[in-house]
A and B are shown apart, each in its own frame.
Chain A
Amino acid sequence: MPIRRDKRERYVEVEVSAPPEPLWVRCESCGELIFRRKLQENYYICPRCGAYFFLSAKERISALADEGTFEEFPIPVIPEDPLAFSDQIPYKERLRRAREETGLFEAVLAGTAKVGGIPVVLAAMDFRFIGGSMGVGVGEILRQAMERAAQGKKPFVLVVSSGGARVQEGILSLLQMAKVVAARDGLAAAGVPYIALLTYPSTGGVLASIGSLADVTIAEEGALIGFAGPRVIEQTTGERLPPGFQTAKFALEHGMVDAIVPRAKLKEELVRVLSVFMGTS
């Protein structure tokens, strides 16, 4: 889906537009070749084996927002590559590729929308964009989104899909945890509810900040919810991970989330939650 270019061309060298989508998609879990439209109709769940596919931020938003109601916020002004970082490839190049591949400016998309007729501020993270990681860009988009929600007295809905902090922005990424919590405090001060949907994956610095501080927290079936990744735990502690560790069911049983909801029912669930707080009389 091409994105309006006018807002972005000051910051991005190439036009941000997603590559054309192939007609057929292979399920990585069972190997089945699936016709894309059929996959879309099935909420990006493999019709054969039931495996969940990653949803892009745009797909998330179109699955949750009432049709045609989403309006993206303007892209914030942020310093690009604040540490002039490079590893095997320069970070600037990594950003350029992520933008080209996803058609997004950053790993989160935020704007106003209606959900079941209720006006909200809706933000969705995109794992395909450098692992959905949070650097200054993501932190800034989330801060502005929450502040707009607080000002407009609209509930804030965040779909988490993130591996954690963005390593290439070093300490500034770590400090985005403080930034988004500061903005979350503004929602509380305005008396505006915040609802988080945790998906696969919700880990690291994003879970240890904004992901864990919602008023209502819903886990999507198939979510991975944890601070440290399974490999880090095994390598650092030598512990064997129990079956079902860090799944949505594990999170529910350990008191971290309010509900587990299958992807097809997420919107319905969200409308129920919003209706309780906002009323639709």
Chain B
Amino acid sequence: MTDEERLKILEEKAAELRRLAQENGLDLSSEIAVLEKKIAELKKALFAELSPWERVQLARRPDRPSGLPFVQALCEAFYELRGDRVLGDDPALRGGFGKLRGKTVAILFHHRGGTPEEQRLARFGMASAHGYWKAKRIMEVAGRLKLPLVTLINTPGAYPGVQAESHNIAGAIASCIWQMLRHPAPTVSVILGEGGSGGAIALATADRLLMLENATYSVISPEGAASILWKDAKFCQEAAEKLRLTAAELKRLGVVDEVIPEPPGGAHADFGQTVALVREALLRHLEELSSLPLDELLRLRYNRYRYVGSPNPAN
């Protein structure tokens, strides 16, 4: 019997006990507690052994916490800004201002949509040119007000479409990277699900980069790498391994500062706890960064990216 099969049997047994307890008014709480403990242990063991490709699947789950509900749960108050002031408003990349433990921060985030209609309008989290131009605009507002910037990333990538190209999506992404590098206040990015290529790095050049345990961050999707390099999309599992796109690998590479653990069963299994874990990590990093003078903050940020992948002479 595989661990997955054992897990399924245990979960069925627990459900059966709960049903019995409810129907017959029995107190089976200690039996249920024993089963639940076993289930949690098994889930933990199962998740520790996931392959990179399996984590890619988890990161892509449509029920993974992200987008507007996540931000609303994260902040004590949230006020959304809309539109890039030239082209329009993109529902796939949203942002505004909120309060985190009483302090105002700017927040930018990908939104994949809840309902099928929302998902279609948000192009499953693939933001277009006006999304990134809007992100730049909100970064500028936050910069004027010297407010910290938080970004929550969950996108398969920027939208590759005729209209996106007509509206200079490459320039919009480049401008976001530049604006974020210059931001005159602390910046923290969290990859919640997929961190897909240019669409992700546009919001990820922060002082601190955090990742949920089963999130991914990659220059290209495993399918894309397989079709370009192996000339066969079947090699996506191998590509997922070679690209080193998991949170644990990226921590080892020094790209990510902290891996935020997920609740047993994954982030989608417990929305509330995932929000709480992300909130704790965000507040801790913002607090640390807020103690640095601005010129020191910018110097550290600039050097972090200036020497990425090559020896840092300052070390």
Contacts and interface: CB of A to CB of B under 8 A. Distances in A.
Nearest to A77: B311
Interface in A161-184: 165, 167-179, 181-184
Nearest to B198: A208
Contacts of A174: 197-198, 200-201, 217-219
A238 B96 CA distance: 32
B310 A245 contact: no
A232 B245 contact: no
A87 B174 contact: no
Interface string A78-100: 11001101111000000000000
B309 A236 contact: no
Contacts of A135: 309
B164 A227 contact: yes
Contacts of A237: 159-162
A43 B271 CA distance: 61
Nearest to A233: B160
A209 B310 contact: no
Interface stretch (A24-32, A33-41, A108-116, A136-144): A136-144
B79 interface: no
Contacts of A87: 225, 229-230, 235, 239, 242
A236 B161 CA distance: 8
Given A168-B229, A233-B160, A183 B306 contact: yes
B170 interface: yes
A172 B310 CA distance: 10
A185 B178 contact: yes
A204 B167 CA distance: 15
Contact of A178 (B165, B177, B218): B177
Interface string B179-216: 00110000000000000011011100100000000000
Q: Which secondary structure characterizes the binding site on chain B? A: helix
A1 interface: no
B181 A227 contact: no
Contacts of A232: 160
A164 to B, nearest CB: 9
B302 interface: yes
B48 interface: no
Interface of B: 158-162, 164-171, 173-175, 177-178, 181-182, 197-198, 200-202, 205, 217-220, 225, 228-231, 235, 239, 242-245, 250, 253, 255, 302, 305-311
30 contacts: A83-B244, A85-B242, A87-B225, A87-B235, A88-B230, A167-B220, A170-B244, A171-B217, A171-B218, A171-B219, A172-B255, A174-B219, A175-B305, A177-B174, A177-B177, A179-B309, A181-B177, A182-B306, A185-B178, A207-B170, A208-B202, A209-B173, A212-B173, A213-B178, A227-B164, A227-B169, A232-B160, A237-B159, A245-B162, A254-B168
Given A209-B174, A237-B161, 8 more contacts: A83-B243, A139-B310, A167-B220, A175-B201, A208-B170, A209-B173, A228-B160, A232-B160
